[in-house]
Amino acid sequence: MSALGELRSIGTKKVKGGSKAKTENKAAYLFLLPWFLGLGVITVGPMLASLYLSFTKYTLLSPPEFIGIDNFIRMIGDERLHNSLGVTFMYVFVSVPVQLGLALALAVVLNRGLSGLSFYRSVFYLPSLLGSSVAIAVLWKQVFGGQGLVNVLLGFFGIEGRGWISDPSTALSTLIILNVWTFGAPMVIFLAGLRQIPQMYLEAAEVDGATKWQRFFRVVLPLLTPIIFFNLVLQIIHAFQSFTQAFIISGGTGGPADSTLFYTLYLYNRGFANFDMGYAAAMAWFLLVIIGIFTAINFWASKYWVFYDD
Amino acid sequence: MTSIRPTGKRPTGMRPTGRAAGFVAIVATAALALSACSGGGGAAAPAAELSDEPVTLRFTWWGNDVRTANTQAVIDAFEAENPNITIEPQFADWNGYWDKLATETAANDSPDIIQMDEKYLSTYSGRGALLDLTTTGDNLDLSGFSKASLDLGTSEDALYGIPVGLTTYAVMVNPTILETAGIEIPDDKAWTWDELEEAGAAVTAAGGGNVFGVQSWGFEEGGLNNWARQHDDALYNDAGEVVIKAETLTSWWEYMLSLTEAGVSPSASATTERQAAGLAESFLATNTAGFATGWASQLTALQEASGAPLELLRIPITDDASTGSAYYKPSMYWSVSARTEHPAEAAVFLDYLVNSEEAADLLGTDRGVPANDDIRAYLTPNLPESGKQVVEFLDGLTEDVGDAPALTPAGGSAIEAIVKQYTEQVLFKQATPEQAAEGFIKDLKAAIAAG
For residue B266, is the peptide bond before it cis, meaning its omega torsion is within 30 degrees of 0?
A: no
Of A166, A169, A257, the CB nearest to B421: A257
Q: What is the pLDDT of residue B5?
A: 40
pLDDT at A310: 63
Nearest-CB residue to B421 (from A59, A145, A258): A258
Q: Is A157 helix (H, G, I), strand (E, B) or coil?
A: coil
Which residue in chain A has the smallest CA separation from B414?
A: A274
What pLDDT digit, counting tens, does each position of A240-254 carry? 999 988 888 887 788
Contact call for A274 and B447, based on CB within 8 A: yes
ipTM of the modeled complex: 0.72
**What pLDDT shows up at residue B422?**
92
Q: Scan residues 39-98 of B and list those with Cβ closer than 8 Å to A.
A: 95-96, 98
pTM: 0.77
Using one digit for the tens of pLDDT, what is the confidence trace for B142-174? 988 887 778 888 877 889 999 998 888 999 999
pLDDT given at position A17: 52
Instruction: Give the closest residue to B73 by CA, choosing from B411, B359, B271, B390.
Output: B359
Residue B401: per-residue pLDDT: 76
What pLDDT is attached to residue B323? 62
pLDDT in tens, B345-400: 999 999 999 999 999 989 888 888 888 888 988 888 888 888 888 888 888 887 77
Measure in Å the smallest separation between the Cα of A278 and chain B Cα atoms.
10
pLDDT in tens, B102-132: 888 878 889 999 999 988 898 888 888 899 9
B311 vs B303: CA distance, rounded Å: 9
For B4, list phi and psi in degrees, rounded to 5.
-100, 110
Distances (CA, A) of B443 to B87, B224, B231, B411, B431: 39, 16, 22, 11, 15
What residues of B are in contact with residue A151 (Cβ under 8 Å)?
A: none
Q: What was the pLDDT predicted at B48? A: 60
Q: Which residues of A touch B414 (CB under 8 A)?
A: 273-274
CA A213, distance to chain mean position in Å, is 30
Q: Do B425 and A272 touch (CB under 8 A)?
A: no
Q: For B273, which residue in chain A has the nearest alpha carbon? A: A166
**DSSP per residue, B391-422:** HHHHHHHGGGB-PPPPPPPTTGGGHHHHHHHH
Q: Say if the Cβ atoms of A275 and B102 lie within 8 Å.
A: yes
Please report the domains of chain A, with CATH numbers, ordered by start residue.
Answer: 72-305 (1.10.3720.10)
Q: Which ranges of chain A have pLDDT less than 50?
A: 1-15
List the single residue in A with minimal CA-CA distance to B444.
Answer: A274
**B145/B419 Cα distance (integer angstroms):** 33
Kindly report the average pLDDT of chain B as a whole number.
83
- Interface residue B190 vs chain A (CB under 8 A): no
pLDDT of residue B80: 93
pLDDT at B131: 93
B102 and A CB contact within 8 Å: yes
With CA atoms as reference, report the closest residue to B353 among B339, B335, B341: B335
Residue-range domains of chain B with CATH? 16-166+331-400 (3.40.190.10), 169-326+411-450 (3.40.190.10)
Which chain A positions have a beta carbon within 8 Å of B129's beta carbon? 61
pLDDT value for A265: 94
| Closest residue by Cα to residue B193 from B329, B291, B310 | B291
Q: What are phi and psi of B138, to 5 degrees?
A: -75, -10
Question: How much is the pLDDT for A159?
Answer: 81
Q: Note the pLDDT of residue B219.
A: 85
At B346, which amino acid appears? A
By C-alpha distance, the chain B residue nearest A138 is B277
Q: CB A274 to CB B451 under 8 A?
A: yes
- B residues 111..140 contacting A (CB < 8 A): 123-124, 127-129
Contact B417 A258 (CB under 8 A): no
**CA B377 from chain center: how many Å?**
21
Question: Are the beta carbons of B270 and A163 separated by less than 8 Å?
Answer: yes
Largest CA distance in chain B: 67
